[in-house]
């Protein structure tokens, strides 16, 4: 019986470890960053075991959706993400039977409906946990990228006002800025230069890759200026002002939502305080 208890404890601990490790945001993959800087476009991480496992799983279940743009924005490999997702699902399915076996070995028996419902619920929750975590992290990343893109638009407008050509303005503005967003923009411009394509095509490719529509608008504006020689100072300034207004509105909406959600905790605290005040009188009255 001790062997079964040890096995159940090991399975339960493994499931808890997988769940906690998935809830912690994963850092960017170094291999994915190297692949982005590599103009050849080769996949250096394709030979790793999680990537091969994730590739086989993707081929076996092609209907399973994978947030490719979110993973590219976070610098994570889709194969590794899919492998973690399915592993967490299996861990959730195995965790409840292991706990049920441990309870049964202790002499208690549960109705079969409780372990079955718990297995399905926990397996589904852990299976979809990576989707939720990835969506939240990607949302924060996109918000940070949009804030950086507003500064990038201002820098490009300044470079154009100083007499720089569209190509020079885009590259110089990316070199001046600091942060991961400017590094992604600079890497996209560097790949475009090495591939002998216009820089706005590189920005458009980056926008499609990470799902930033504002960057695609910048690429379109720069493309018009590069092909037709149009003045883009007013367009860049207007676009930057529009993005700032959208960011301010989103911040105000988020602050309002947080203020609304604070009503319930404050009401519960007030109710608990009233209960503490009137409890002695009720206790003396009915005691």
Q: What DSSP line would sit under 96-116, residue for residue?
A: HHHHHHHHHHTT----THHHH
* Residue 32 in domain: yes
For residue 267, being part of any structural domain is answered with no
Residue-averaged pLDDT of the chain: 76
- Lowest mean per-residue pLDDT among 43-52, 194-203, 237-246: 43-52
Quick one: tokens of 223?
A: 């493309």
Query: In terms of pLDDT, which residue wins out, 192 or 250?
Result: 192
Is there a domain that residue 263 lies in?
A: no
> What pLDDT does 15 receive?
64
Residues 78 and 185 in one domain: no
Distance CA 253, CA 91 (A): 38
Would you call 287 exposed, middle or buried from its count of C-beta atoms within 10 A (0-12, 13-18, 19+)?
Answer: exposed
Average pLDDT (76-101) is: 82
Please indicate, yes or no, if residue 46 is contained in any of the structural domains: yes
164, 146, 148: which is closest to 156 by C-alpha? Answer: 164
Q: Are residues 103 and 156 in the same domain?
A: no
pLDDT for residue 39 is more than 50: no
pLDDT at 16 over 60: yes
Q: Both tokens of residue 49? A: 């075991």
How far is residue 213 from each of residues 40, 102, 171, 239, measured CA to CA in Å? Answer: 26, 52, 20, 12
**Residues 236, 156 contacting (CB under 8 angstroms):** yes
18 with 77, same domain?
yes
Please state the rounded mean pLDDT for residues 45-55. Answer: 54
Higher pLDDT, 144 or 2: 144
Q: Look-up: residue for tokens 């079955």?
A: 116
Residues 192 and 119 in one domain: no
**Percent residues over pLDDT 70 in the chain:** 74
237 has pLDDT over 50: yes
Q: Mark whether 193 and 211 lie in a shared domain.
A: yes
Q: Which of 27-31, 69-73, 252-256 has the highest mean pLDDT?
A: 69-73
Specify the residue for token string 């470079």.
Answer: 159
Domain termination site, one of 106, 138, 170: 138
Residue 51's domain spans which residues?
Answer: 2-138
- Collect all residues with Cβ–Cβ distance below 8 Å to 54 and sequence separation of at least 6: 77, 78, 79, 80, 81, 82, 83
The Cα-based distances of 229 to 2, 117, 224 in angstroms read 80, 65, 7
Instruction: Determine, yes or no, domain membership for 268.
Output: no
**Range of lowest pLDDT (135-139, 154-158, 186-190):** 154-158
pLDDT of residue 41 exceeding 50, the answer is no
Integer CA distances (angstroms), 108 to 100, 101, 103, 120, in order: 9, 10, 6, 22
Q: pLDDT confidence of 59, banded at 50, 70, 90?
A: low
The pLDDT of residue 118 is above 70: yes
> Chain centroid to CA 60: how far?
25
How far apart, in whole angstroms, are the C-alpha atoms of residue 155 and residue 159?
Answer: 6
pLDDT at residue 4 above 60?
no
Q: Calculate helix-pair angle for 166-176, 113-161, nearest 10 degrees.
A: 120
Question: What does the pLDDT read at residue 233?
Answer: 67
Is pLDDT above 80 for 197?
Answer: yes
Tell me what pLDDT residue 173 has.
86
Residue 261 lies in a domain: no
pLDDT at 221 > cutoff 60: yes
Q: Is the pLDDT of residue 204 over 70?
A: yes
Comparing C-alpha atoms, which of 278, 275, 231, 210 is closest to residue 68?
210
**201 lies in a domain?**
yes
Which of residues 110, 138, 166 is at a domain's end? 138
Residue 190 makes CB contacts below 8 A (sequence gap 6+) with 37, 39
The arithmetic mean of pLDDT across residues 119-132, rounded, is 86
Q: What CA–CA distance (Å, rounded) separates 229 from 234? A: 14
What's the domain count of the chain?
A: 2
Which contiguous run of DSSP H or E holds residue 143?
A: helix 113-161
Q: What is the pLDDT of residue 37?
A: 52
Q: How confident is the model at residue 49 (pLDDT cuts 50, 70, 90)?
A: low
> Residue 127: helix, strand or coil by DSSP?
helix
CA-based nearest residue to 239, from 168, 160, 176? 160
* Higher per-residue pLDDT: 1 or 76: 76
């Amino acid at each position: 019986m001790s062997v079964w208890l040890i096995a159940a404890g090991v399975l339960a601990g493994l499931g808890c470890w997988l769940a906690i490790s998935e809830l912690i945001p994963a850092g960017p993959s170094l291999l994915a960053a190297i692949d982005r800087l590599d103009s050849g476009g080769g996949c250096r991480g394709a030979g790793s075991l999680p990537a091969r496992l994730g590739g086989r799983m993707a081929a076996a279940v092609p209907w399973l959706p994978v947030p490719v743009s979110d993973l590219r924005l976070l610098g994570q490999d889709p194969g590794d993400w899919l492998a973690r997702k399915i592993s967490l699902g299996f861990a959730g399915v195995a965790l409840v039977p292991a706990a049920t076996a441990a309870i049964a070995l202790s002499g208690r028996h549960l109705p079969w409906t409780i372990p079955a419902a718990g297995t399905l619920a926990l397996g589904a929750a852990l299976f979809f946990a990576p989707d939720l975590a990835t969506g939240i992290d990607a949302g924060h990343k996109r918000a940070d990228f949009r804030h950086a893109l507003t500064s990038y638009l201002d820098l490009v407008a300044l470079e154009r006002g100083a007499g720089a050509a569209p190509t020079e303005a885009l590259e110089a503005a990316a070199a001046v800025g600091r942060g991961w967003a400017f590094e992604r923009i600079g890497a996209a411009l560097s790949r475009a230069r090495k591939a002998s394509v216009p820089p706005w095509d590189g920005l458009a490719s980056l926008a499609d890759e990470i799902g930033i529509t504002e960057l695609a608008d910048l690429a379109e504006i720069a493309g018009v200026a590069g092909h037709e020689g149009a003045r883009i100072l007013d367009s860049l300034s207007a676009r930057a002002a529009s993005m700032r207004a959208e960011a301010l509105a989103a911040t105000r909406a988020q602050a309002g939502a947080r203020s609304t959600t604070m009503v319930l905790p404050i009401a519960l605290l007030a109710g608990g305080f009233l209960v503490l005040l009137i409890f002695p009188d009720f206790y003396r009255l009915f005691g």
